């Protein structure tokens, strides 16, 4: 079940396994619900505040903060206002591997791919090397935006330089097998819950059904859910449904009412109410002002 929310989107091209996403919407509050993927993701906050949850660890990103999301880590992101701007860089760890096996591959690259070593999740803007890191990420943005000569080469070598700086400053975490196992066990349960909601969000999801599916009493499930997702079960289901609705508003010509019912809402007025509460605008306004935006 827990493969359902594994992101299958292709980032980059067959010859350039890297992509940058500029995340900013001046008309609505952005959010990306829980998911995971094989790629490493670097988040670079440029403006405003970004709320991010990585493997149930909650952070607030301010301008200059950098986040590293490791392979298969469960994460979500959202903003509280429309001024927030951040960049997301995605690439598979294999993209940085060497064709000739050597010490660097063995000691530094492979452990990150095999999750025997992990990137630190948050690099605060107060850390000594943060300014240097920001300059390196600014360089990657510039060469990719302008498609400068050998920008693919510049991107790859700069990513390796970023990893070198993290290693040099002891910001790569070496993990014991037992610690990895304990973390993975809990995250696996969370992924299973997220996948269950994804699979059933178009239908009525009762608390009794989902708590029974995970062998928990309804009262305990509610407490467990709120503690790990920072939302009630109902709030989270609404977020998932609104996220699906946003995608359909952008990519289809379906009526707003049809979208509401197809994403699992049983009451159209309630859909409008929840959409506005979550995004800060009505569905019709969102469609009008964001129809050409693709995240």
CATH number for 30: 2.60.120.10
Confidence of residue 3 (pLDDT cuts 50, 70, 90): very low
In terms of domains, do 103 and 169 share one?
Answer: yes
Structure tokens at 237: 């289901």
Say what the pLDDT of residue 290 is. 72
Helices and strands (H, E) in the chain, number of each type: 11, 11
Average pLDDT across the chain, whole number: 90
Task: Note the pLDDT tens digit of each residue in 37-78.
Answer: 999 999 999 999 999 999 989 999 999 999 999 999 999 999
Say what the pLDDT of residue 294 is. 44
Task: Note the pLDDT tens digit of each residue in 129-187.
Answer: 999 999 999 999 999 999 999 999 999 999 999 999 999 999 998 886 545 555 667 78
Whose tokens are 């509460």? That residue is 277
Per the structure, the complete domain to which residue 33 belongs is given by 19-177
Spatial CB neighbours of 280, under 8 Å, sequence gap ≥ 6: 28, 29, 82
What is the average pLDDT across 247-254? 93
Residue 171: φ, ψ to 5°: -110, 15
How many separate domains does the chain show? 2
Give yes or no for residue 1 having a pLDDT over 50: no
Residue 20: φ, ψ to 5°: -120, 140
Whose tokens are 């569905």? That residue is 283
In terms of domains, do 152 and 41 share one?
Answer: yes
CATH number for 215: 1.10.10.60
Rounded to the nearest 10°, the torsion over CA 255, 257, 259, 260 is 160
């Amino acid at each position: 079940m827990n493969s359902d929310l594994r992101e299958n989107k292709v980032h980059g091209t067959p010859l350039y396994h890297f992509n940058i996403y500029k995340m900013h919407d001046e008309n609505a509050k952005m959010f990306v619900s829980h998911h995971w993927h094989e790629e490493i993701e670097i988040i670079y906050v440029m403006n405003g505040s970004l709320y991010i949850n990585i493997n149930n660890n909650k952070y607030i990103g301010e301008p200059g903060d950098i986040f590293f999301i490791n392979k298969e880590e469960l994460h979500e992101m959202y903003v509280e206002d429309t001024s927030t701007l951040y960049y997301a860089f995605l690439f598979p760890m294999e993209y940085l591997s060497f064709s000739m096996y050597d010490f660097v591959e063995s000691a530094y690259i492979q452990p990150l791919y095999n999750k025997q070593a992990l990137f630190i999740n948050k690099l605060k803007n107060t850390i000594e090397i943060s300014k240097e890191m920001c300059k390196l990420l600014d360089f990657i943005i510039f060469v990719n935006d302008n498609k400068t000569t050998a920008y693919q080469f510049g991107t790859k070598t700069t990513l390796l330089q970023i990893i070198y700086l993290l290693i040099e400053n002891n910001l790569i975490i070496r993990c014991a097998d037992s610690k990895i196992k304990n973390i993975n066990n809990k995250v696996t349960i969370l992924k299973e819950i997220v996948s269950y909601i994804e699979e059933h969000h178009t239908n009525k999801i009762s608390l009794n059904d989902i708590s029974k599916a995970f062998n928990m009493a309804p009262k305990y499930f509610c407490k467990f859910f709120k503690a790990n997702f920072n939302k009630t079960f109902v709030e989270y289901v609404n977020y998932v449904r609104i996220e699906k609705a946003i995608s359909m508003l952008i990519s289809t010509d379906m009526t707003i009412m049809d979208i509401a019912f197809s994403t699992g809402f049983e009451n159209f007025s309630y859909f409008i109410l929840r959409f506005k509460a979550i995004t800060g605008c009505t569905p019709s306004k969102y469609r009008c002002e964001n129809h050409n935006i693709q995240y």
